Amino acid sequence: MKTYEKLLLENKAWAQEKVEDDPEYFKRLSHLQTPEFLWIGCSDSRVPANEITNTQPGEIFVHRNVANLVIHTDVNLLSVLDYAVTHLKVKHVIVCGHYGCGGIKAAMTNHDFKQVLNMWLRNIKDVYRLHRDELANITDEESKFDRLVELNVKEQVQHLAKTSIIQRAWKNEQRPDLHGWVYGLKDGLINPVFEMKAGTHIDPLYEYDDL
Ligand code: CO
């Protein structure tokens, strides 16, 4: 059997098991999607949103990319954000990075990963530059790496707060709260490192006053 054929076979078994446990399972899910959370995570195969939070299909709306970045010109991410916030009306947006992130590690090197990866990793180098003083004081390379993972998550949460999508929802509906988390590949535990409650004021340069 080909490896991908095993996926299809496992899918059949899974669907059957679900229906045996709860005959209305798929009927219910197909009619309604009301997730409370938007998850912006890393594409890394070891950090599946549902599994590590023990949640079910229907509970978390998910967007993943390399190193969980929030880029203000990324139409893909912004579409997901707009749909989740404006239409699904999620109460929480979670940016979840992870220690040992290959994207972060790559951005810390001077290696040429060629386009388009160089373009993407540039955003992480910018985070490094913003926090260069703090990072320069960390001599242990592993600790420096861990800290950049945390600072990156914090920065991406702040990028969310700079969007009119979030600011409009904060103004009109006092939601969603924004969370920056870091997952540990070594122990499976999530470390909450940063939070912005709905309505938090940011640098006035980025605040829209006529939403
Ligand atoms: Co990663």
In a domain, 188, yes or no: yes
Interstrand relation of 177-183 and 37-42 (parallel, antiparallel or unpaired)? unpaired
- Does the predicted TM-score (pTM) go above 0.85? yes
Length of the chain: 211
Domain of 165 in residue numbering reads as 41-199
Sign for the pseudo-dihedral over CA of 28, 174, 60, 192 = negative
Q: For residue 72, indicate whether it is catalytic.
A: no
Q: How many domains does the chain have?
A: 1
Instruction: Please report whether residue 19 resides in a domain.
Output: no
Q: Look at residue 167 and tell me if it is in a domain.
A: yes
Q: What is the pLDDT along the chain (211 residues), one digit of tens a residue?
A: 899 999 999 999 999 999 999 999 999 999 888 999 999 999 999 999 999 999 999 999 999 999 999 999 999 999 999 999 999 999 999 999 999 999 999 999 999 999 999 999 999 999 999 999 999 999 999 999 999 999 999 999 999 999 999 999 999 999 999 999 999 999 999 999 999 999 999 999 999 999 9
Residues less than 5 Å from ion ligand 1, measured at CB: 42, 44, 101
Q: Is 29 contained in some domain?
A: no
- Say whether 42 is catalytic: yes
Give the CATH number of the domain where residue 64 resides. 3.40.1050.10
Please check whether residue 182 is in contact with residue 153, taking contact to mean a CB–CB distance below 8 angstroms. Answer: yes
Provide CB contacts within 8 A for 77, sequence distance 6+: 40, 63, 65, 69, 70, 71
